[in-house]
Amino acid sequence: MTRLACDLTTLRRGACPSIAAPMQTGDGLLVRLRPVAAALAAKDLLALADLARENGNGLVEITARGNIQLRGLTATSVPHLAEGLAAAGIVPQTGVAIETPPLSGIDPSEIVDATPVAAALRQAIAGAALILAPKLAIVVDGGGVLSLADMIADVRLDAVATNDGVFWRLSLGGDRRTARAIALLCPQTVVAGAMTIMAALATAGPAARGRDLDAAALAAGFDTKPGMPVFLVPSHPVGVHRIGDHLLLGVAPAYGQVHADRLAALVRGLSACGVAEFRLAPHRTLLVRGLSENTLAAAQDIAEREGFWCTDNAPGRSISICAGAAGCASAGFDTHAAADAMVAHAAELLDGSVDVHISGCPKGCAHPARAAVTLCGTAAGIGLVLDGRAGDAPLATIPATELAPAIQRLGTLLRTRRAGDEKAKNLIDRTAPATFISAYQGQQ
């Protein structure tokens, strides 16, 4: 079998960490992949779990865009991972990321199956050999219950049903509501129209994104003008869905991470309940198909037992955590335990209106962007950062042994100050940092 060349000189933050170019993180190399097949069998997920254990630190993540991430790999183990994927018949997508709704082709409520358009566009881009930004994201959305209307993309194609048939609304830089309209394309011209944008991006430079293009100038080149889009908020994929004849259950690993052993236990348990198909979906979700009304409750019990959330309002959904002490030598504390303490004692922070980040060290692997509240392991203890990144100077630092009571005090502070059903964002905005610091350090 051909051994994959892993050019570690290409590793950098900001690029997409594929198998050919994994990304260096504090817990080793990270590989992100999306299988070409929309529907995975139990054996595929079991193979992925084995490969995560054998070649990495065993942690498997599902990202917000529905990709798989394996962590803790090494320059030596990445080629073994590639070989293992090939042996298991799992083919990762390559090239530009083109997203379609997770139930494309099987959702009777969709306007049209987006898969053929996405495949044709992928082929056209590959054939044109354009150099495009590594993080470029394209959405081809045929609608349906789990549409991608709320997913941000550089370039969007949204299906539109008209009296004259299905058309595609081409737009730039945003979700379905905010992206700037370019054209309304018929099925015969949709790929050629989208390729006009790809050519403009390539001309603008190897890092150009949708937001960098002049939408008005591009729209002037098309005859057909799109109207305002219909924006229906899609269902959250986590939870139970009854779509046509299909009963689906969306499960999400707690905090987006699960150990391979528990993933394998989930897959075996759900298979025994009749699940024959697993689909990766946005919001860190695994959609499973094949349950009956008789086996649904047992499947939910198994998912919860193995550390998966089954409802879209799980309070921990707005917490990002890294591997922590369980999987990374750089970590200063147990991030999972801290997240559980946050859920148990400071739920006021977790209504989804703000991001909370719990990072084992200042590297901040799990959430490189700013978060409203960050707890970060440092040499001096656990730092508290407000509206910043894990690497920012903490406002206050406490010993790791004091963290649980500190989280309880933060929860008490927020509960005491909260007015009615006030959102966490507003509550944080109107609370002075000094008040947070006092509570965190136990000086109230």
* Residues found near ligand SF4 in the complex (CB under 6 A): 25-27, 322-323, 328, 330-331, 359-361, 363-365
Which lies closer to ligand SF4 via its Cβ, residue 37 or residue 329?
329
Radius of gyration of the chain (CA): 23
Which lies closer to ligand SF4 via its Cβ, residue 329 or residue 434?
329
Minimum CB separation from ligand SF4 for residue 241, in Å?
Answer: 33
Which lies closer to ligand SF4 via its Cβ, residue 11 or residue 124?
11
Minimum CB separation from ligand SF4 for residue 63, in Å?
Answer: 15
Minimum CB separation from ligand SF4 for residue 75, in Å?
Answer: 17
Number of residue whose CB is nearest ligand SF4 = 26
Q: What angle do CA 30, 32, 36 make, to 5 degrees?
A: 155
Residues 269 and 256: their CA atoms lie apart, in Å, by 20
Which lies closer to ligand SF4 via its Cβ, residue 267 or residue 361?
361
Would you list the DSSP string of 94-115?
Answer: -SSEEE--TTTTT-TTSSS--H
Residues 231 and 228: their CA atoms lie apart, in Å, by 9
Q: What angle do CA 232, 235, 240 make, to 5 degrees?
A: 155
Which lies closer to ligand SF4 via its Cβ, residue 148 or residue 323?
323
Minimum CB separation from ligand SF4 for residue 13, in Å?
Answer: 11
Minimum CB separation from ligand SF4 for residue 351, in Å?
Answer: 25
Minimum CB separation from ligand SF4 for residue 360, in Å?
Answer: 3
Which lies closer to ligand SF4 via its Cβ, residue 114 or residue 361?
361
Q: What angle do CA 14, 314, 31 make, to 5 degrees?
A: 25
Minimum CB separation from ligand SF4 for residue 320, in Å?
Answer: 10
Which lies closer to ligand SF4 via its Cβ, residue 27 or residue 107?
27
Residue in 443, 420, 415, 442 with CA at minimum distance from that of residue 431? 415
Which lies closer to ligand SF4 via its Cβ, residue 136 or residue 373?
373
Total Cβ atoms within 10 A of residue 277: 15
Residues 376 and 322: their CA atoms lie apart, in Å, by 10
Residues 443 and 34: their CA atoms lie apart, in Å, by 48
Minimum CB separation from ligand SF4 for residue 325, in Å?
Answer: 8
Residues 209 and 212: their CA atoms lie apart, in Å, by 5
Helix ranges restricted to H, 292-402: 296-305, 335-345
Would you list the DSSP string of 173-191?
Answer: EESTTTSEEEEEE-TTTHH
Which lies closer to ligand SF4 via its Cβ, residue 16 or residue 88?
16
Residue 141 · residue 156 · CB < 8 Å: yes
Question: 190-204 and 115-128 helices cross at what angle (nearest 10)?
Answer: 40
Place of tokens 């960490």: 17
Q: Which two tokens stand for residue 284?
A: 């860190």
Which lies closer to ligand SF4 via its Cβ, residue 25 or residue 171?
25
